[in-house]
Amino acid sequence: MDENILENDESLVALEKRLGISRRSFMQLCTAMAATMGLAKGADAAMVAAVATKKRPSVIWLHFQECTGCTESLLRAEHPTLEKLILDVISLDYHETLFAAAGHQAEAARRSAMKANKGKYLLVVEGAIPTKDNGIYCKVGGQTAIEMLKECAADAAAVVAIGSCASWGGMPSTPPNPTGAKSAGEVLGKVIPNIPGCPPNPYNFLSTVVHFLTFGKLPEVDHIGRPKFAYSRLIHENCERRAHFDAGRFAMEFGDEGHRKGYCLYKLGCKGPETYANCPSILFGDVGNASWPVGTGHPCIGCTEKGVGFAKPIHELAVLKTVVPPVGFPRVVEEQGKGASIGAAALTAAIAGVAAGAGAKMAQNLGKGVKTDEGAGKHEERAES
């Protein structure tokens, strides 16, 4: 994006005053969001223009069975302060936690905003919906969560579930699930965009909303409704501890030598190998390097994955969806022409033999403890049974 073209744009001058951040910082944020979502060239400029000139979309934000952690996480983001940015990018017309109004006034404001923006507002759902006994376990303004969700979804331009509770039931739906908690999509009977996590990364939500504001539609999602830009890769693929996994170096106990050296947390129950999310790529909480659970020394609990987070014991081993990386990758531009020489074929065979040996060694290491200080051999970790 050419910042010189936009430097003297009056709409950006007004945006700078409204958001309380510099134009350069905001344009950099839009560039980062466009790159993260894999959008075409020029999408960043379109995002800037949309936020600066388009009418802020009305947002109705519902709270059901949850801890308000998704909202709290959103309000504590920095660079720039997301609570400032998101509240100025959208028109938040109903939000129980942030509302000054209460009781009948709050419900009147919700219905008024829905009527004024019929077919145009964005509905955000936070929390699971109890369905047992006709949903009597959660009521707001005299309506059950089921009734309120269906009423608000009927005229919404789009519905987004934020957090694991709204996305797939989360913690409230864990057995024995006494309230019959279900996801927003299950209650509505269709796949809706989900931004799971406990809590989800606020920038995934921001990117989704800005995409909607810019292009009039939500970003591309996978088969269960998660935006592909954020949930298409396993955590294991981009984890800073992945090299230790491939080498067979694992922490066996919290605080042991391997744990202190930053070894892989797979044997402590890390669910990164079976959980799709971008946590290691964009980190969390804006507190600096390694600001995500695995980076700070705790196994991933799989909070973005249905059937993993809040379903599997924290220290149960993850299902390995990928194990050994390829021996080599093709070059960006592969040369045309002659077949492999005898020497090249021999080298390939040798590499394949080494790879097979390495794979067998890693498989062996997965089943038992390994030395954490291989050079000195001072400390042999306890083998797992």
Residue 371 has pLDDT above 70, yes or no: no
- Predicted local distance difference test score (pLDDT) of residue 210: 79
- Predicted local distance difference test score (pLDDT) of residue 248: 87
Condensed to tens digits (0 to 9), the pLDDT of residues 195-212 reads 999 999 888 888 888 788
- Predicted local distance difference test score (pLDDT) of residue 33: 67
Residue 325 has pLDDT above 70, yes or no: no
Asked if residue 243 lies in contact with residue 252, where contact means CB atoms within 8 angstroms, the answer is no
**Same topology between domain 55-231 and domain 237-329+342-366:** no
The whole-angstrom separation of Cα 215 and Cα 383 is 55
Question: Hey, which of 18-27, 89-98, 335-344 has the most confident mean pLDDT?
Answer: 89-98
DSSP 75-96: HT-TTTTHHHHHHHHSEEEEET
- Predicted local distance difference test score (pLDDT) of residue 354: 52
- Predicted local distance difference test score (pLDDT) of residue 374: 43
Q: Among 218, 162, 195, which Cα is nearest to 278's? A: 195
Cβ neighbours for 189, distance < 8 A, ≥ 6 positions apart: none
Condensed to tens digits (0 to 9), the pLDDT of residues 136-182 reads 999 998 999 999 999 999 999 999 999 999 999 999 999 999 999 99
- The CATH number of 237-329+342-366 is 4.10.480.10
The whole-angstrom separation of Cα 86 and Cα 75 is 9
For 77-161, where are the alpha helices, taking DSSP H only?
A: 82-89, 104-116, 145-154
Asked if residue 70 lies in contact with residue 63, where contact means CB atoms within 8 angstroms, the answer is no
Condensed to tens digits (0 to 9), the pLDDT of residues 212-227 reads 877 888 889 999 999 9
Q: Region 82-90: what's the mean pLDDT?
A: 62
- Backbone φ and ψ for 160, nearest 5 degrees, come out as -125, 130
- Predicted local distance difference test score (pLDDT) of residue 91: 76
Query: Higher pLDDT residue, 38 or 246?
Result: 246
- 3-state secondary structure (DSSP) of residue 375: coil
The whole-angstrom separation of Cα 250 and Cα 265 is 6
Return the percentage of the chain with pLDDT > 90, whole number.
43
pLDDT band for 264, please (50, 70, 90 cuts).
Answer: very high
The CATH fold assigned to 55-231 is: Rossmann fold (3.40.50)
User: What is the residue-averaged pLDDT of the chain?
Assistant: 79
Q: Among 90, 93, 308, which Cα is nearest to 205's? A: 90
Asked if residue 53 lies in contact with residue 11, where contact means CB atoms within 8 angstroms, the answer is yes
Asked if residue 48 lies in contact with residue 13, where contact means CB atoms within 8 angstroms, the answer is no
Domains of the chain by residue range:
55-231, 237-329+342-366
- Predicted local distance difference test score (pLDDT) of residue 59: 87
